[in-house]
Amino acid sequence: MTNEDKTQGFKLVIADGAFDDVPEEDREELMKEIQAAFERGDFFTQGEPVDLDELEREEPEVYEKLVTQIEKMDVEKEGQEPPTLH
């Protein structure tokens, strides 16, 4: 399976403000690394699902930011089919 096969049919979308906590001088490099990992198919071969209950217990601040972003996306995408990874 080629890298293109792994990502075919998927699009990487990063929500506005998702990296506001990352210093500006590091943000561009981080975005490039994320894009490259997506294009290589690493999200599918090396990715691990996030256990939200565990995240809430162990990293409550990260959990709150994630949930806030998800809720924001839900409001913005109301009436549209949400993206899924199958």
DSSP-derived secondary structure letter, 64: H
Instruction: Note whether 38 and 56 are same-domain residues.
Output: no
Q: Tell me, what's the pLDDT at 22?
A: 87
Q: Are residues 42 and 54 in the same domain?
A: no
Tell me the per-residue pLDDT of 28-71, one tens digit each, with 9 for 90 and over: 899 999 999 988 888 888 888 889 999 999 999 989 988 887 88
pLDDT of residue 69: 79
> Do 2 and 18 sit in the same domain of this protein?
yes
Where residue 4 falls among pLDDT bands split at 50, 70, 90? low
Residues 73 and 32 in one domain: no
The predicted structure's pLDDT at residue 86: 46
Q: For the residues of 9-20, what is the DSSP string, one character each?
A: T------TTTTT
Domain holding 79, by residue range, is: 50-86
38 and 15 share one domain: yes
Q: Is the pLDDT of residue 25 over 70?
A: yes
Q: What is the mean pLDDT of the chain?
A: 81
